[in-house]
Structure 1
């Protein structure tokens, strides 16, 4: 059996450049990176990319594919430019094809892009829909608070868009109802004492209960954490 070659520890050449690669390859890296950068820029311009915050899952897959194809040829000497460029051509062709199909067939669009999901209706969380989404309460409430919502009774309905943004529709001031408070200092302190004549809101779904019996769980979600409901108006 052939003995394995010993590796010299802390070999500056190997650490900085890799095994057997000369420092002159850095000049080629400069050329490779410049070429791939402008190809990426051209492809993104061609595909009409929107802002990064608005990327859908489909568009994110395109970006990852292009990034993977662009990265390796920038600094791996054994990865040539032409195969990478071919990958770009294939990916952008698939992008154009799928974009065309989504415009023609609703089922294809739903499969590729997904569809908006209603998470809040009439001041209450649609618990079953919410549980199906990979969204935490903190994320939901954070987006609501950024729109000056302090309790769910101010929200007529809210939709989780395919981009991950939250579309919110508000009750007019005259129609605001009592709802679950979502300000952190209040939300993180469930009630331990309950009083007659006070309306309470389930911490997990926003279900309302007047004159709550503390030992009875929520009828909607089965949880048993409650907050005193708020009916204050939304600050604009």
Structure 2
């Protein structure tokens, strides 16, 4: 039967029954996990990061774990958490310093702004490379007051995952693909009435002068269309 925990046992609180050299291992473990977290978040893409920088997110995850365990578990020494904090903050400072000084490193870890819409059409290749879903894109556009893609001159997915939207003036807006969910449900592959229709995949607007059973979009080769909105 183990001995009961003695409150305010300073040796147990700060180092427990580990040798002092164990703190060096804690520092190594922290550095290792910092690199793993940084790599994982870099690979996962900017949409997962959103408003925080990738470095800030790594720091929050690492420090949150380091701070939580010593609060609850009596066999987790406080000095281990202190070492974790010191190493994590040092790695954070070093990584941000290198990123600020080296453009290549900054682009690899943080990414670059990517154009996703130009002149009312989705740039499908960039769209795919960013692993960005159309529902996410349209949600951001709706939050920016965009009812249809013809209002958008340019949309840029920033390095922090936010979407920057530059609109045409009201007089210059083009017919475009609706961003409203209920309207998108009205898509079809059979054009029954002549008029302007928008491709449901890329937003390209095509004028149909007669009914058509099946028509491939000239830009993305898809066959699903919905009535364009002006």
Q: CA deviation at 1:155?
A: 0.3
Are positions 1:170 and 2:167 aligned together? yes
Distance in 2 (CA, whole Å) between partners of 1:98 and 1:192 is 51
Post-superposition Cα deviations, 1:104-160, rounded to whole Å, max 9, x if no partner, equal 110111122111111101100000111122321111111111121110000001111
Other structure's SS at 1:190 match: coil
Q: How does 1:24-39 map to 2 (within 5 A)?
A: none
Work out the CA distance in 2 between the residues paired with 1:137 and 1:190: 15
Structure 2 residue aligned with 1:152: 149
Rounded to whole Å, the distance in 2 between the matches of 1:104 and 1:149 is 37
Cα gap change, 1:90/1:201 in structure 2, threshold over 3 Å: closer, same or farther? same
Residue number in structure 2 paired with 1:107: 104
Alignment of 1:10-159 (within 5 A): 54-159=51-156
Partner of 1:39: none
Q: Give the deviation of 1:222 after TM superposition.
A: 2.6
1:202 and 1:224 in contact (8 A); partners too = yes
Deviations 1:63-98 (A, max 9, x none): 111112112111112110111111111111111111
TM-score after normalising by structure 1: 0.73
In structure 2, what is the Cα distance between the partners aligned to 1:23 and 1:192?
Answer: 72
Number of aligned residue pairs: 192
Show the counterpart of 1:11.
none
Unaligned 5+ residue runs, structure 2? Answer: 15-48
Q: Is the 8 A contact 1:151 1:230 kept in 2?
A: yes
- Answer with 166-175 or 186-195: which moved more: 186-195
8 Å CA contact retained: 1:58, 1:112:
no
In 2: Cα distance, 1:60 partner to 1:188 partner: 37
The CA deviation string for residues 155-174 of structure 1, in whole angstroms up to 9 with x for no partner, is: 00111112221100000112
Bigger RCO (CA 8 Å, 6+ sep): 2
What TM-score, normalized to structure 2? 0.75
Runs of 4+ in 1 over 4 A off after TM superposition: 19-25
| Cα offset, 1:196, TM superposition | 5.4
